């Protein structure tokens, strides 16, 4: 294995420019959720050019490349959709320029998270060049719609495509650390109904805004009392939207709703989170519901899931984490940082729903995710492409 590690490092370095240029091509293609078609076709082209055994696009629009045909299955995932550009005045460079300069690839999606897929294309090229012949199937997945609905893509892959890996690496940005979990989340709507009347005599009506406001103040207090986990941190709840309606601006409101962003730490569940809110709003007549996502993919397929994204974490002594640690140490002669994400990933489905052992390892610093001036070090791309290739050998 020592010679394999040495060759992998050499090839990752050899393809430094190749990886950066592939990422640049992806960044130049705007790829919001449900609008990924062109970037998916480019990723498919790159996989084919790299010599993958099979490359196809599934019904939801995920690009799935395959190397090998063994019994054990490793999947390496990276989502190809990005958030929008935001205020262009906050950028020091063209967010869709894909500029390669000063040791970085610049632009929207370089960190979150097309840098991971660009690196795993190179990993596939390395594996083919080395003649990878282990009893393993490796799927390289450029997934869709993650920014809109974490894990929806993998719900489709597992339930509709029938692919259920033994192990998964998420290429979301980890600053080259090995990540083993994150808090879950859910989206909750709380609805309040009132009775309208003329605004000159509000005592005749029942103002839905007042009900929602009382609830909002109690939800603010609830946030301070939520559970804490030593690894994942504290659960949180915040109100991210307050909307109301009335027959006119001279009338008492007869409708209001609150949209809650609820982050779930270890030990918190959908049921416990809903019960906490129901307890607050029951005397106010509030109706609590977990929202449902259903949208049409770029392929024309309508697909959806509940907006509940389970908490997950992998024990540090688990084989998948320890294999990552061994690979990192053998490749780079130092210990990796083992940690967690602050935000949410497709791991909510892969591990949170289906229990598939999952770790994260990706190029880029997550603080640049969704931020202006997003850029990724080319050195990170080189290291990630070596890591994914070596991991396939080691886990096999």
Percent of the chain with pLDDT over 70: 100
Residues 58-92 have pLDDT tens digits of: 999 999 999 999 999 999 999 999 999 999 999 99
Fold of 2-182+311-395: Aminopeptidase (3.40.630)
- Mean pLDDT across 275-301: 98
- The interaxial angle of helices 319-332 and 378-395, nearest 10 deg, is 120
- Mean pLDDT across 252-280: 98
Please answer whether residues 358 and 312 qualify as being in contact, where contact means their C-beta atoms are separated by less than 8 angstroms. yes
Residues 105-145 have pLDDT tens digits of: 999 999 999 999 999 999 999 999 999 999 999 999 999 99
- The interaxial angle of helices 16-27 and 378-395, nearest 10 deg, is 110
Containing 360, the helix (H) or strand (E) segment is: strand 358-360
Buried b (16+ CB within 10 A) or exposed e, 103-120: ebbbbbbbbbbbbbbbbb
Of the candidates 280, 352, 269, 277, the residue with the CA atom closest to the CA atom of residue 313: 352
131: left (phi over 0), alpha (psi -120 to 50) or beta: left
Q: What is the pLDDT of residue 73?
A: 98
84: left (phi over 0), alpha (psi -120 to 50) or beta: beta
CATH class of 184-296: alpha beta
Which residues are known catalytic residues?
81, 146
Residue showing tokens 């393993």:
136
Please answer whether residues 365 and 175 qualify as being in contact, where contact means their C-beta atoms are separated by less than 8 angstroms. yes
Check whether 293 has a pLDDT greater than 90. Answer: yes
- Mean pLDDT across 200-215: 98
What distance in Å separates the CA atoms of residue 88 and residue 150, rounded to the nearest whole number? 26
Same fold, 2-182+311-395 and 184-296: no
Residues 361-389 have pLDDT tens digits of: 999 999 999 999 999 999 999 999 999 99
Q: What is the pLDDT of residue 382?
A: 98
Please answer whether residues 345 and 172 qualify as being in contact, where contact means their C-beta atoms are separated by less than 8 angstroms. yes
Q: What is the pLDDT of residue 67?
A: 98
Q: What is the pLDDT of residue 147?
A: 98
Q: What is the pLDDT of residue 87?
A: 98
Q: What is the pLDDT of residue 1?
A: 85
What distance in Å separates the CA atoms of residue 287 and residue 205, rounded to the nearest whole number? 19
What distance in Å separates the CA atoms of residue 228 and residue 313, rounded to the nearest whole number? 14
Q: Where are the domains of the chain?
A: 2-182+311-395, 184-296
The burial of 26, by beta-carbon neighbours within 10 Å (0-12 exposed, 13-18 middle, 19 or more buried), is given as: buried
Mean pLDDT, the chain, rounded, equals: 98
What distance in Å separates the CA atoms of residue 219 and residue 228, rounded to the nearest whole number? 17
- Mean pLDDT across 219-244: 98
Q: What is the pLDDT of residue 13?
A: 98
- Mean pLDDT across 3-21: 98
- Mean pLDDT across 391-396: 97
What distance in Å separates the CA atoms of residue 52 and residue 66, rounded to the nearest whole number? 6
Q: What is the pLDDT of residue 393?
A: 98
Q: What is the pLDDT of residue 227?
A: 98
Q: What is the pLDDT of residue 155?
A: 98
- Using 50, 70 and 90 to split pLDDT, how confident is the model at 332? very high
Q: What is the pLDDT of residue 58?
A: 98
Check whether 328 has a pLDDT greater than 90. Answer: yes
Q: Evaluate the omega torsion of the peptide bond into residue 125 and state whether it is cis, within 30 degrees of 0.
A: no
Q: What is the pLDDT of residue 283?
A: 96
From the CB of residue 220, how many other CB atoms can be counted at a distance below 10 Å? Answer: 12
Check whether 325 has a pLDDT greater than 90. Answer: yes
Please answer whether residues 135 and 42 qualify as being in contact, where contact means their C-beta atoms are separated by less than 8 angstroms. no
């Amino acid at each position: 294995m020592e010679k394999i590690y040495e060759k992998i490092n050499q090839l990752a370095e050899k393809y430094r420019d190749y990886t950066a240029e592939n990422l640049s091509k992806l960044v130049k293609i705007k790829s919001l959720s449900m609008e990924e078609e062109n970037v998916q076709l480019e990723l498919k082209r790159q996989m084919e050019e790299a010599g993958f055994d099979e490359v196809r696009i599934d019904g939801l629009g995920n690009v799935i490349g395959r190397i090998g045909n063994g019994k054990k299955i490793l999947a390496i995932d990276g989502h190809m959709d990005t958030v929008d550009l935001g205020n262009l005045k906050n950028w020091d460079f063209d967010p869709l320029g894909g500029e390669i300069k000063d040791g970085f690839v610049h632009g929207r999606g370089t960190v979150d998270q097309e840098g991971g897929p660009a690196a795993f294309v190179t990993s596939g090229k390395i594996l083919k060049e080395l003649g990878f012949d282990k009893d393993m199937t490796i799927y390289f997945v450029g997934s869709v719609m993650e920014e809109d609905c974490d894990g929806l893509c993998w719900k489709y892959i597992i339930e509709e495509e029938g692919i259920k890996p033994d192990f998964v690496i998420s290429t979301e940005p980890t600053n080259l650390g090995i990540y083993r979990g994150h808090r879950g989340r859910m989206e909750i709507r709380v609805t309040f109904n009132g009775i309208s009347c003329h605004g000159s005599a509000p005592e005749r009506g029942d103002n839905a805004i007042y009900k929602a406001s009382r609830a909002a103040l109690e939800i603010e207090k609830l946030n301070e009392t939520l559970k804490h986990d030593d690894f994942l941190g504290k659960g949180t709840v915040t109100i991210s939207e307050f909307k109301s309606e009335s027959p006119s601006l001279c009338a008492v409101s007869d409708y209001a709703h609150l949209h809650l962003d609820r982050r779930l730490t270890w030990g918190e569940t959908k049921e416990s989170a809903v019960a906490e809110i129901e307890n607050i709003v029951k005397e106010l007549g509030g109706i609590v519901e977990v929202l449902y996502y259903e949208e049409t993919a770029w392929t024309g397929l309508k697909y959806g899931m509940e907006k509940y994204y389970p908490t997950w974490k992998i024990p540090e002594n688990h084989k998948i984490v320890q294999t990552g640690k061994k690979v990192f140490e053998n490749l780079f002669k130092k210990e990796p940082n083992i940690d967690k994400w602050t935000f949410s990933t497709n791991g909510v489905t892969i591990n949170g729903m289906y229990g598939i052992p999952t770790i994260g390892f990706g190029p880029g610093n997550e603080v640049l995710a969704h931020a202006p001036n997003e850029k990724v070090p080319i050195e990170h791309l080189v290291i990630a492409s070596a890591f994914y290739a070596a991991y396939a050998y080691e886990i096999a």
